[in-house]
Amino acid sequence: MSRQAMEITHRSVSSPGGRIHIAEQGTGPLVLLVHGFPETWYSWRHQMPVLAAAGYRAVALDVRGYGRSSAPAATDAYRMLDLVEDNVAVVRALGEETAVVVGHDWGATIAATSALLRPEVFRAVGLLSVPYTPPGGPRPSDVFAGMGGDEEFYVSYFQEPGRAEAEIEPDVRGWLAGFYAALSADTMPPPGAPDPHFAGRGGTLRDRFPAGRLPAWLGERDLDVYAGEFERTGVTGALNRYRNMDRDWEDLAAFDGAPVTQPSLFVGGALDASTTWLAGAIEAYPATLPGLVSCHILDGCGHWVQEERPAEVNRLLTDWLATLPA
């Protein structure tokens, strides 16, 4: 493989929302990498060179509203249907007919929904941290409003435009450092401490973030990269994903209970609330992910699995990809 093919290159491609910025490395079958909140394409920095060396075309995008991708002004421009079509647009712009899609956090939900709605494009799906739960069930806002008793769940906290922005944007770097630390295995609050996924009434999420120490996976330069992007763009585009969950519930009603049938992979952290709260979703995989090839819960790992445990995740990804039909 040429040196050029092994370097990360950057460009933007057209999408229904304007443009999607992509980082690309390697040649071969396309693997589309979709980040979560609050990150960017950079969250896949450890995976891209390994996938390229293994013979894949690794493409990590900035989700609509993040980084160098377009950030439409309308709140409802961030509904799941639009993000799925952005993924399809990237595949087509790259001259490909199909892709494997891999996502982390919100990216996992975007990846799973992409596979559900456009199975002719997305031939396999890898999910990191957030398990697949089929569309349907109670209205999301009702579920989240009922969580926490006198405390407020972070998804509910994010709903009011401007509220979370007022907490985050005066000190983006400090807020991100605390948020990343709160969900990392080596820096998360100890059992019994106030849960950073909730805000006390009248308080902020940041009140419960650990302070003074970065998690081992996050260097000062890495934090600078993330903070620099959100200082430039603001966080409204990222937060608008949360503000469309009821719209998604309505938009996807026809897929109530539908399984994702393509070959799939799940990797979660044993210390991640996404894994523990949604343990029932993982147990339901024989019905909801009938094409599941392998499922892995990493001991001693928090939420940021591909950054906390890059070597292990890289091995699991490449082993899984090797099982897929060419």
Of 132, 135, 137, nearest to 291 by C-alpha is: 132
Separation CA 214–CA 210 (nearest Å): 9
303 annotated active-site = yes
The token duo for 104 is 């982390």
CA 104 to chain centre: 3
Three-point CA angle 151, 66, 156, nearest 5°: 15
Of 62, 105, 248, 272, which residue is the catalytic one? Answer: 105
246 annotated active-site = no
Name the phi and psi angles at 28, rounded to 5: 130, -160
Residue with tokens 């769940």: 153
**Residue 132 gets which letter from DSSP?**
-
State which H helix or E strand residue 156 sits in.
helix 154-157
Q: Would strands 99-104 and 122-128 be described as parallel, antiparallel, or unpaired?
A: parallel
Separation CA 171–CA 184 (nearest Å): 20
State which H helix or E strand residue 123 sits in.
strand 122-128
Q: Enumerate the active-site residues.
A: 105, 303
